Structure 1
Amino acid sequence: MSDDELFAEEMAGVKPLVVEQRVAIRKDSSSEVNIAARRAAATAASEARNFLSSSDIELLDPYYVLEFRREGVQHGVFRRLKQGKYAIEARLDLHKMTIEQARLQVFEFIREAMKADLRTVMIVHGRGHHNGSKGAVLKSYVNRWLPEMDEVQGFCIAQIQHGGAGAVYIMLRKSENKKQENRDRLARGRSL
């Protein structure tokens, strides 16, 4: 007897299972309420991730020189950043924004730059001459926010052609992909 015949003999008295109808889900107006609640919760969750402070701070002079360098950033690398020798891979302009708008934009900008494996970016905050206050508001907040972000390895005022005291160059942490690329490049160089 072949396998097909044996199988047919074993399956002789078998009946297919009866499949019951699945429950039909009705869409009513309460689902719109649920969707709105979920959207509000998602927005609140993304807001909660933004840890940048928006509390009152002492305002800086419009010509104050911004500069920050984390421990471990080489002096030569930071000097090249200050000299504007690195290509600016992305730019964010904060002119005409409120503090809250700027806070959200800076946070998202740095996050997106990290996702895109960017290393050197620039934020234009302006000098704060025309805002009528006693100092540079956005510049002061940028000076506070950037060190709060672990992704930021250092920042300094931009060269005159890029905005001078009204902008900052920012060096971001290397991603694991970029670190591996450097290791591979250096390994190839040693083997030649």
Structure 2
Amino acid sequence: MSEPEDDSELFRSAIGPVRPLATQPEAPRKPAPRPRARMREADERAAWSEFRHAMHDPLLDPGDVSSHRRDEVPPRVLARLRKGEYAARDELDLHGLTVAVAESLLREFLREAIAAGTGCVRIIHGKGRNSGGLPVIKNLVDRMLRQRADVLAFHSAPPAQGGTGAVLVLLKHR
């Protein structure tokens, strides 16, 4: 018998025949975490913080008029809005909803109205007679509209259009 020349042959002849091991499947990998919109979350937290600060202002009662205009909007525009001289091109009815649902619907409604180029909209919030005191949705609408840069002015609707249970809103053009 001749001596093997290289070490690997020597090793194989010394151990004899081998049986390969069954290969085990690789352990499943943990799925990657879902991506998060961290900037959007930070913006929403900041907006909520500002909104909560604004809630320290006196709240509106059921019969109170809701009114606001940006500094760049002339007072005569608000006077015309108060008289109902602007035609509402779209309408959203929020009364009877929860605050969370109303807030979500209002945000989406305003986003769509601005995207469509709608100049004036009516938001029906109700007078809050079933809220047990203060009109919750009315105050939510008032506070949200004051915080939005795309809202130029708003005023409670004339009596024929809902009175203090609705608000007419002038929106910025895109």
TM-score, L = length of structure 1: 0.63
| Residue 89 (structure 1) aligns with | 89
Distance 1:146-1:116 versus aligned 2 partners, 3 A rule: same
| Residue 80 (structure 1) aligns with | 80
- Alpha-carbon distance in structure 1 between the residues aligned to 2:79 and 2:99: 30
| Residue 129 (structure 1) aligns with | 129
Structure 1 residue 48 displacement after superposition: 6.2
Bigger CA radius of gyration: 2
Alignment of 1:147-158 (within 5 A): 147-158=146-157
Structure 1 residue 87 displacement after superposition: 1.1
TM-score, L = length of structure 2: 0.69
Deviations 1:42-85 (A, max 9, x none): 7x887766535368655421001111011121222221111111
Alignment of 1:93-108 (within 5 A): 93-108=93-108
| Residue 168 (structure 2) aligns with | 169
- Alpha-carbon distance in structure 2 between the residues aligned to 1:164 and 1:82: 10
- Alpha-carbon distance in structure 2 between the residues aligned to 1:126 and 1:68: 18
- Alpha-carbon distance in structure 2 between the residues aligned to 1:46 and 1:99: 21
Residues 54, 99 of structure 1: 8 Å contact kept: no
Alignment of 1:11-160 (within 5 A): 37=34, 41=36, 51=47, 53=51, 59-132=59-132, 134-160=133-159
Residues 146, 152 of structure 1: 8 Å contact kept: yes
- Alpha-carbon distance in structure 1 between the residues aligned to 2:134 and 2:106: 20
- Structure 2, gaps ≥5 residues long: 1-28
- Structure 1, gaps ≥5 residues long: 1-29, 176-192
